[in-house]
Amino acid sequence: MTVDLTKRIQDLRETIPPHVRLIAVTKTVSVEKIREAYAAGVRDFGENKIQEALAKQEELQDLDDICWHFIGHLQSNKVKLALTHFDWIHTCDRAKIAERLDRLSAELKMTPPNVLLQVKPLPDPNKYGWTIPDLLTALPTLDQYQNLKIQGLMTILPFTESPDEMRTGFEKVRDLAQEIAEKKYSHLVMKELSMGMSADYAIAIEAGATMIRLGRTIFGERPA
């Protein structure tokens, strides 16, 4: 056991309010380290590549109360694997993927999967996700997807070192969730906000995050 990792997780827990779910992001992290994090009490793990995740899940089958979160860009030919291997899909980022998730979830006769809608609150050409106007337009269609449990919003902010910009971005997402909730759609629940990574999670929590996704803060720097 790395004393370091256990201690880091314990220290983190103490700074995070109890209602915020800590997701340990384990891309490039070995199954040994995942086991250590598990032993330190972590049950939520996030991966961003389907193949890498499946290989690790195979080796970790004995840890059967892990909740797996898919946080990577979802290609349409991987939707089925994402549905069958993850408890939460954070990155429903376009209409086509939402439609496919709904259809395949029905075909597989699954319990409707937990889905978050990935939104871009600030102009950012490099990131996936709905712009706010596009998401607002898509809502009536999304609300008709009976085979999905849409639970809230997810965001990855464009890189910035400015805490003010981070706050502005996260607050836009929080306000958008509030606005959507007030529209009283029947299938769109807006109770989760997946926002905040190692560089900005403290600000995300202040802005209302219910899930934070931490990689480097827990496991150290990733290989380049």
Ligand X SMILES: *Cc1c(COP(=O)(O)O)cnc(C)c1O
Q: Which is nearer to ligand X, 147 or 196 (CB)?
A: 196
Q: Which is nearer to ligand X, 168 or 198 (CB)?
A: 198
Indicate the pairing of strand 67-70 with strand 44-47: parallel
Provide long-range contacts, Cβ within 8 A and 24+ apart, for 162-171: 163/203, 165/122, 166/200, 166/203, 166/204, 167/203, 167/206, 167/207, 168/121, 168/122, 169/121, 169/122, 170/121, 170/195, 170/196, 170/200, 170/203, 170/204, 170/207, 170/208, 170/209, 171/207, 171/208
- If residue 5 lies in a helix (H) or strand (E), which one and from where to where? helix 3-15
Q: How far is CA 166 from CA 25, 170, 191, in A?
A: 20, 6, 21
Q: Which is nearer to ligand X, 25 or 207 (CB)?
A: 25
Q: Which is nearer to ligand X, 102 or 200 (CB)?
A: 200
Q: Are 73 and 97 in contact (CB under 8 A)?
A: no
- Among all residues, whose Cβ is closest to ligand X? 215
Q: Which is nearer to ligand X, 118 or 147 (CB)?
A: 118
| Contacting residues toward ligand X, per CB under 6 A | 25, 27, 48, 71, 156, 197-199, 213-217
